[in-house]
């Protein structure tokens, strides 16, 4: 069971994440979009979307910091355990609150606004449910355990296990001892990666940074050959007339009203 949860499942999810993206990129460029609904509703989005996105940037940055940078490195750099804890908890809760508020607004507009409700797909609902679960678990861990509770040093256990996955040396024993809320958050995180390529989240990889230095007006040559020239309608009409007079000549004498009368 331990192996399944902390070895098989993460690798399976990562495999789906990678293969899913390759498949979607090659098969579904047309569906690769933010799927903007600002046209249909702007009041809640105007506040909710920037909050959510900026909060998400902070949260992603925080996760990268906490999971990818070994505790030994920050110690060597002279960052005290207390200072690290202070920064991570305060920054984590601020961005977390932004994310929660943004997500709440975005979910609210899906319920409140009939126009938005109608364009919400099943995949959107799955995505929102996942995001909510992840945020609730994450905030419980940050606020509940590290801020109000006694604190848990995930950098010595979860982070080491997480990095181990990428070195192909996952230390499952580090996870079995972690508190339940952290376990669930970690598992949910991998499942979240697995559904990522099948949701509108793919737009993250299209963040248009190249816009900052490309020329304003884009010129592009037509792809493939042009269709063969077609006769203009007037030519068709005139050609038709020519044929018609030929046909009229074929009409037996006495029937002079023409072929189309």
Task: Kindly list the residues in this chain that would bind another protein in the complex (CB under 8 A).
Answer: 29-30, 32-42, 45-47, 49-50, 52-54, 114-115, 117-119, 200, 203, 206, 208-212, 214, 216-222, 225-234, 236, 239-240, 243, 247, 250-251, 259-260
Q: How far is CA 148 from CA 51, 81, 89, 145, in A?
A: 25, 17, 10, 6
Nearer to another protein, 76 or 118 (CB): 118
Nearer to another protein, 1 or 250 (CB): 250
- Residue 195 C-alpha from the chain's centroid: 9
Q: Which is nearest to 160 in space by CA: 73, 252, 232, 102?
A: 73
Q: Which two tokens stand for residue 7?
A: 């070895």
Closest CB 62 distance from another protein, rounded Å: 19
Closest CB 250 distance from another protein, rounded Å: 7
Nearer to another protein, 75 or 241 (CB): 241
CA 218/CA 215 separation, integer angstroms:
7
CA 121/CA 118 separation, integer angstroms:
8
Closest CB 2 distance from another protein, rounded Å: 41
Nearer to another protein, 106 or 184 (CB): 106
Q: How far is CA 27 from CA 14, 17, 19, 31, 192, in A?
A: 20, 15, 12, 9, 21
Nearer to another protein, 67 or 100 (CB): 100
Nearer to another protein, 98 or 186 (CB): 98
CA 174/CA 245 separation, integer angstroms:
93
Q: Which is nearest to 107 in space by CA: 191, 49, 190?
A: 49
Nearer to another protein, 1 or 218 (CB): 218
Asked if residue 63 lies in contact with residue 106, where contact means CB atoms within 8 angstroms, the answer is: no
CA 94/CA 44 separation, integer angstroms:
20
Cβ-proximal residues to 139 (8 Å cutoff; 6+ apart), any chain? 96, 100
Q: Which two tokens stand for residue 119?
A: 């364009």
């Amino acid at each position: 069971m331990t192996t399944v949860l902390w070895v098989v499942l993460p690798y399976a999810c990562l495999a789906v994440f990678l293969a899913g993206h390759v498949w979607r990129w090659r098969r579904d460029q047309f569906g690769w979009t933010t799927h903007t609904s600002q046209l249909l509703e702007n009041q809640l989005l105007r506040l909710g979307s920037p909050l959510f996105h900026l909060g998400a940037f902070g949260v992603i940055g925080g996760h990268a910091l906490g999971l990818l940078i070994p505790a030994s490195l920050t110690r060597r750099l002279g960052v005290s355990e207390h200072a690290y804890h202070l920064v991570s908890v305060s920054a984590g809760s601020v961005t977390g609150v932004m994310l929660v508020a943004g997500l709440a607004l975005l979910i609210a507009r899906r319920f409140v606004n009939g126009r938005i409700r109608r364009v919400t797909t099943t995949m959107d609902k799955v995505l929102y449910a996942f995001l909510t679960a992840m945020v609730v678990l994450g905030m419980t861990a940050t606020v509940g355990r590290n801020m109000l509770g006694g604190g848990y040093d995930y950098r010595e256990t979860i982070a080491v296990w997480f990095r181990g996955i990428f070195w192909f040396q996952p230390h499952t024993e580090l996870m079995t001892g972690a508190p339940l809320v952290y376990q669930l958050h970690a598992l949910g995180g991998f499942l979240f990666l697995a559904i990522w390529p099948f949701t509108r989240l793919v737009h993250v990889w299209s963040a248009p940074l190249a816009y900052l230095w490309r020329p304003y007006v884009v010129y592009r040559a037509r792809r493939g050959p042009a269709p063969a020239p077609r006769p203009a309608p007037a030519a068709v009409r005139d050609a038709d007339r020519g044929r018609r007079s030929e046909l009229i000549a074929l009409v037996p004498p006495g029937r002079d009203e023409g072929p189309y009368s």
